[in-house]
Amino acid sequence: MSSRKIRQRSGLDASPADSVVRSCHTPLHYAAATPQIAGPYVTQPAANCRRCPRLVLLRKQVRHDYPHYHAAPVHAFGPADAALLVIGMAPGLHGANASGQPFTPDDADGLLFPVLHAYGFASAPVTQSANDGLVLSDCRITNAVKCLPPDNKPVAAEINACNDFLASELARARVLLTLGGLAHKATIKALALRQADYPFGHAARFNLASGQQLIASYHCSRYNRNTRRLTPEMLANVFATARAMVDNPLPVTQSSAS
């Protein structure tokens, strides 16, 4: 069943977010939002995080329809001290929302894990489940929004509500790689930077005042792959740059947007 059908059955409103930063002040229900510490400097949401009422309702419906699915906030995957942090948008219904691990399963013609493997960030080019033994090396993968959104479209209030969890994940990485405009804007917001200074574009790259480096890519979604908006070669070029950034840290004095 698609997330659209689930949304319709649940009576959920799915007005899409066309901007991450339009409002930081949208009213939210913060009841029972009790973060748990998952590692030094990293705060991950509790399994019962209820900040986003629409997503909580959807989780409940998905748990009913797919009792074996994870259907809870999806935490980051990979070593907490990884130099590279890859930031996606949000869990997919039959992907991370099912497995509990970002971008898993990645099907046989997926784009992400082959390129992670090719550049030494993953032990295998395919992942089928969270327990298949694949190991990330010097790479961690997360999402800007930790819960499944209806129609793969979180609204601005949900992106903002989850932003402090993302912010807590950014500090330990030297290189940030954003997948898609939504993840990119959410990352810029989490870094408390001006969106206008760091516009999204495929292969756009920035040196941040923090000493971190950021590179953006079109999202490796099935849609972008099928329309060839993002080809394997385009994604490989971005990861080749990320690999070079990881292997050649900026001098500590270099600190301007480029």
R_g of the chain, CA atoms, integer Å: 17
Of the pair 58, 230, the CB lying nearest ligand SF4 is at 58
Question: For strand 213-217 and strand 175-179, is the pairing parallel, antiparallel, or unpaired?
Answer: parallel
| Among 62, 158, 191, 218, interactor with ligand SF4 by CB under 6 A | 158
Q: How far apart are CA 123 and CA 121, in angstroms?
A: 7
By C-beta, is 115 or 162 nearer to ligand SF4?
Answer: 162
Residue nearer to ligand SF4 on the CB measure, 219 or 243? 219
Q: Provide, rounded to whole angstroms, the least separation between the CB of residue 206 and ligand SF4.
A: 25
Q: Taking the complex as a whole, how short is the minimal distance between the CB of residue 178 and ligand SF4, in angstroms?
A: 18
Interaction pattern, residues 27-46, with ligand SF4; x per rule: CB under 6 A: ------------------x-
203 vs 118: CA distance, rounded Å? 18
Distance between CA atoms of 2 and 124, rounded to whole angstroms? 29
- Is 138 a binding residue for ligand SF4 by CB under 6 A? The answer is no
Cβ-based neighbours of 125, under 8 Å, separated by 6 or more: 113, 114, 116, 117, 118
Residue of the chain from 62, 111, 134, 145 that contacts ligand SF4 (CB under 6 A): 145
CB of 157 to ligand SF4, least distance (A): 9
- Binding to ligand SF4, residues 53-72 (CB under 6 A): 55-56
Taking the C-alpha atoms of residue 95 and residue 224, their distance in angstroms, rounded to an integer, is 17
Spatial neighbors of 232 by CB under 8 A, at least 6 apart, are 111, 114, 115
CB of 94 to ligand SF4, least distance (A): 18
Instruction: Count Cβ atoms below 10 Å from residue 29 Cβ, excluding itself.
Output: 12
Residue type, 149: P
Contact between 51 and ligand SF4 (CB under 6 A)? yes
Q: Pick the closer one to ligand SF4 by CB: 163 or 241.
A: 163
Q: Does 52 bind ligand SF4 (CB under 6 A)?
A: yes
Nearer to ligand SF4 by Cβ, of 166 and 188: the residue is 166
Structure tokens at 167: 């912010």
Q: Does 12 bind ligand SF4 (CB under 6 A)?
A: no
- Sketch the per residue contact string, 67 through 106, with ligand SF4: x for CB under 6 A, - otherwise: ------x---------------------------------
**Residues with Cβ < 8 Å from 185, sequence gap 6 or more?**
19, 20, 21, 195, 200
Q: Which C-beta is closer to ligand SF4: that of 73 or that of 114? A: 73
- Provide the H-helix boundaries in the chain: 3-10, 53-65, 96-99, 112-118, 156-161, 163-170, 181-190, 222-226, 232-247
Q: Between 56 and 167, whose beta carbon lies closer to ligand SF4?
A: 56
State the residues that interact with ligand SF4 by CB under 6 A.
Answer: 45, 49, 51-52, 55-56, 73, 145-147, 158, 161-162
